Amino acid sequence: MTSTVTHTVTCSDSEPTEFILPDFFSNCRYPMRLNSHHDQVSYASDQWARSEANLPESKALKYSTLLRPAYFASSCYPDADAFHLRVCADFLGWTFIIDDWLELDKFEVNDALEIRDCCISAFRDPVNFQTENHIAKLCKSFFSRFKETAGPGCTERFIQRMELWYTSAAKEMDSRAKGYVYDVESYIELRRDLSGCKPCFSFIEFACRIDLPDEVISHPVIIALEEATNDFVAWSNDIFSYNMEQSNHSTRNLVYILMVKQGLDLQGAIDYCGRLCDICVQRFEKNRAILPSWGEEVDKNVAIYVQGLQNWIAGSVQWSFESTRYFGKDGHIVKRNRIVKLSPKRPF
């Protein structure tokens, strides 16, 4: 994803005004696909968020047009039927809602831990657990439908992975409040839980109606495939979101950390992240080539799961340009010329 480019990054007083994206589409050749049930699920999921999440009109509009969770789900779970795709879309929409909620400065670590306890209780018993918390009510809504068809292994893995996410979110909130800037190694370790990819991988099993044995999920090759996918999604997202985050003075981004901790300029840090994404794809293919056998029936389901991980690599990139979250209305232009103009920093 780091092909030679001829663009010149213009600077004023040594400060960059733009940067060039890695060439994701030329070098990552996994097909970009979209679930055929996208349109009907998009409408239903948008209505769900408006009613169940009690979103005001401004946030409801942002949810449906800026974040486009149903498009995200349709890109990452392209083979799901309408019922399963709808649950995937509602779950991804919920992650956007809670992520924005936890970003608010008025919330502290204890608030995140309180929400964690409430949501985990909702996941454990979505039918009988009672709560007035809007975030947990959304959990009850989508997870009660998840449990209708999800296997016990898939269900338990999702809950455990969500606990990891909440713990990492609380840790990040604490470090943000203290003004702590991670080094590269500690940020990479945190990001693997904070990216939210791990619970999304449980939704691959759900969407495809499979429930892999624990011995498969815990195998080093499967773990390596998941980690390569997780890293690709995280590092590419840090590239895509950098402009938005630098405008908001955020330091929670690998591009920023590489500039601070390794002395790279902006384009150098972007290129470095692009090389990491290249390596992720290489790691993925290397491990796919050495998958062991667990017998014909299990191997069939493993192949479906690995294909689902590949879909996440391609789908996350596709959604990043099709939503307006990172590039506004210029997504198709940026996709073509790969030039991102830096936004001015917002006042503190």
Helix H, strand E, coil C: the string for the chain is: CCCCCCCCCCEECCEECEEECCCHHHHCCCCCCCCCCHHHHHHHHHHHHHHHCCCCHHHHHHHHHHHCHHHHHHHHCCCCCHHHHHHHHHHHHHHHHHHHHHHCCCCCHHHHHHHHHHHHHHHHCCCCCCCCCHHHHHHHHHHHHHHHHCCHHHHHHHHHHHHHHHHHHHHHHHHHHCCCCCCHHHHHHHHHHHCCHHHHHHHHHHHHCCCCCHHHHCCHHHHHHHHHHHHHHHHHHHHHHHHHHHHCCCCCCHHHHHHHHHCCCHHHHHHHHHHHHHHHHHHHHHHHCCCCCCCHHHHHHHHHHHHHHHHHHHHHHHHHHHCCCCCHHHHHHHHHHCEEECCCCCCC
Nearest to 35 by CA among 2, 5, 1, 78: 78
Extract long-range pairs of 322-330: CB within 8 Å, 24+ residues apart. Answer: 322/68, 322/71, 322/75, 323/66, 323/67, 323/68, 323/71, 323/72, 324/65, 324/66, 325/66, 325/67, 325/241, 325/244, 326/240, 326/241, 326/243, 326/244, 327/240
Spatial CA neighbour of 280 closest among 300, 309, 255: 309
Q: Tokens 């996440």, residue?
A: 312
Name the stretches of the chain with pLDDT < 70. 1-13, 102-107
Measured CA to CA, the distance from residue 271 to residue 293 in angstroms comes to: 37
Rounded to whole angstroms, how far apart are CA atoms 89 and 11?
A: 41
- Rounded to 5 degrees, what are φ and ψ at 15? -95, 125
Residue 347 has a pLDDT of 85
Q: What pLDDT was estimated at residue 56?
A: 76
What pLDDT was estimated at residue 106? 54
pLDDT at 218: 98
